[in-house]
Structure 1
Amino acid sequence: MRLLSTITLASIFTLSIATAQTTMCFKENHKDMSTIENTNLNGGECNGTKSLTQMKKEGWEVADINITPTNDGKNYIYILKKDEKPTSSIDEAALEQKILQKLEDRKKEEIEIKKQQIYAQKSKSGEKLFKNKCVTCHGEKGELKAKGVSRPINSLNLDDFTLSIRDYNLGTYDRGLAMVMRPYALSMDSNDIKNVYVYLKSINEKEEAKK
């Protein structure tokens, strides 16, 4: 075909390989330039059934055009390009769920870090109080029976520890040293009790970790 001599076979091949969304349509010896856009073009995606106007409606754009005069009119060659919509293999719902899960995990992690910070702060406060008021009778780790009569306080749970301090304050608990213990008990509020308990618990946890 004479028309195709204006474009080398190599360049056509390159266009075809570069993208599946590139096509070439043409019209030979068209006489009226004002009607070319509404005239069905041959070749490529036009295939003799679609005009340039129709191709544009389908999302095609003119990337290049070659117009060559002939004895009977003009030859028109259009290089048309259509942008491909990006395809994604990612399930949007799954992606959204993954993001939400990460946010939830981060929230849990932040809460856990905050708990650890509070725990460490309580332990530090409890250590100070314990060493100032308790260590002489109850031992470095709360492991001693004070004066040989009390229970080792490091073996008490928080409820037992709290009730013991309360009962010392009320005068309803006495294992033989209530008069010695009561002034210390009266000086401790609920936060002090929890802090000392946390400190003793932290010592036990460190011992377990070493084992």
Structure 2
Amino acid sequence: MGQEASPIRVLLVDDDAHIRMVIAQELMADPRTLLVGQAASVREGRKAIKQHEFDVLLVDLNLGDGEAFELLEFFRSFRPSAQAVVISVMENDEQVMRAFELGAAGFVGKNSWFGNYAQAVLQVANGGASITPNLARRLLQRFDRTNAAESKRRKPDDADRLSAREKEILRMVASGYTSIEVGSRLFISSMTVNTHLRNIYRKLQVRTRAQAVRFASLRGLF
């Protein structure tokens, strides 16, 4: 996804008018992304989610009348095939973790350099994930390796279903590498990396990067 002839459709929700303008300009400047709608609150976001067809929801964690969590839960009912990327000034581990558990596939800091918003949209739309390496490492440290209850819900051979290459990619993703960076290190294309990621999600019966990394951590895969 993300060709000029068929750009990725993005719905943007942020209560800061200036930030919305900056992100909107970046998305419109990239021919691979198309901004189809904007909203400034949870209430407006709910309406926009119903009205617009989109591939990626780009949403601020803290909105004027609530938090992004409400929209992350809401949009799944109307756009189950769409992906979500959260944005925030602060990398609050608790908030970001909850966003991932609700199905978000990426995080972008508002102080990111130009080009990060469009890149994050392209990554998640193509089955990858977008997260800063520092945040990925911090979140990994929060996983409870002693939580046997969760791992017991899985079949004993779940981890064995992953190929050596899939385990290698999962370890790199858990360390915070993007699909492009993983591909560069393994001498494969980012599209091939994303295909492996989709297979990993399917085999582990998870929906998000955070869930896959948590499972792999509990099983000692890295």
User: Which of the pair has more CA radius of gyration?
Assistant: 1
User: Does the pair score TM above 0.5?
Assistant: no
Structure with more relative contact order (C-alpha pairs < 8 Å, separation 6 or more): 2
Q: TM-score under structure 2 normalisation?
A: 0.19
Give the number of the structure whose residues are more often helix, by fraction.
Answer: 1
Q: TM-score under structure 1 normalisation?
A: 0.19
